[in-house]
Chains A and B, each alone.
Chain A
Amino acid sequence: MEIIKINATEDTPAVTLDSVNNIYEISGRSLPEDVVVFYQPVMQWLKEFEKTPINDFELSIKLEYFNTASSKLILDILLKLEEVFLNGTRLKVKWYYLASDSDMKEAGEEYSEIVGLPFEITMY
């Protein structure tokens, strides 16, 4: 599968979707004005992933800030992963939050409540 490696900017997160090194991570700040454009390659990658899923796939989400538009896109990503999971692929989402960031912890808990897939919430 295509390797996606996007560097972080002031208002967009770092994204790594690398099936060669088995690293899947979204981290940093997700505040773009046009989230659909930014996340388009990720959604495209997930469509491919759905066709040729990888067992024991683990996506790490380690965000410092995200805007509400990103919050919707993150949900779309999780819902897509849920579909793949329900079709029988072993996968997991790891949601990271800073000890001092109770809102980010809560955000993870709220995603885990509505998405039916293994979801681990971890302090870092």
Chain B
Amino acid sequence: MEKSSIKSNSAQKPLSKIFNFHKIMDEKDIMLVYCGEFSQELNKTLLSFTERKFKAENVEDNTRRKVFNIMVEILQNISKNKIESTENITEVDAVFMIGNNNDDYILISSNMIGNGKIPLLKSRIDEVNSLDKDGLKQLYQKARLNNSLTESAGAGIGMIDIARKSENKLEYSFEELNSEYSIFSLLVRISK
């Protein structure tokens, strides 16, 4: 049981710090929060739950599809890049949530990442954030032609697609857990 208390503390800390998690929880309409083991089976469950909810609330088709598409990329990024517990670290549960405010839907994810992967991921996100619609289209086309599927999913074409569909700048942070691992948090807005 000791393990689970470590998990929840370390998983919530970066979120509360960076995205003011509790404030979001209080002020915004949170549609979904999941914390735990991610797999393709679970992804399907979260996707179908969200889809039903959006349909029930008569969310406009294009917006609903954008949220769904971005959600697929975020969830598969988490489930494909799982880090198992080792002697050096207790695995921190990944988090995924969807918030809903007046202007946007907000998709937030938070998961463990090897420190070695940070520079590339950071430079990729900074690159997509620096581009306009046309620049993103060109980068996407280039990445799709050159991209090898063995490449880490999150650092490549997936992030470009998220940026294109969101039409907003991606917000992110890295918080170091130890010399090997950090928590990577990503916040994506989809304007209504």
Contact = CB atoms under 8 A, between A and B. Distances in A.
Contacts of A11: 40, 44
A35 B141 contact: no
B149 A103 contact: no
Given A11-B44, A33-B40, A36-B149, A68 B157 contact: yes
Nearest to B140: A110
Given A68-B161, A71-B157, A103 B144 contact: no
Contacts of B169: none
A36 B73 CA distance: 17
A47 interface: no
A103 B161 contact: no
B4 interface: no
Interface in B137-192: 137, 140-141, 144-145, 147, 149, 153, 156-158, 160-161, 165
B44 A103 contact: no
Contact of B65 (A31, A35, A103): A103
Contacts of A67: 69, 72-73, 76, 158
Interface SS majority for chain A: helix
Interface size classification for chain A: 20 to 34
B61 A101 contact: yes
Interface in A87-122: 98, 100-103, 110, 113-114
Contacts of B69: 65, 67, 103
Name the residue among A69, A71, A101, A113 with the largest chain B CB count within 10 angstroms: A69
A75 B149 CA distance: 13
Nearest to B66: A103
A102 B28 CA distance: 29
B76 A33 contact: yes
B79 interface: yes
Interface of B: 40, 43-44, 47-48, 61-62, 65-66, 68-69, 72-73, 76, 79-80, 137, 140-141, 144-145, 147, 149, 153, 156-158, 160-161, 165
4 A-B pairs closest in CB distance: A100-B61, A33-B40, A68-B157, A68-B161
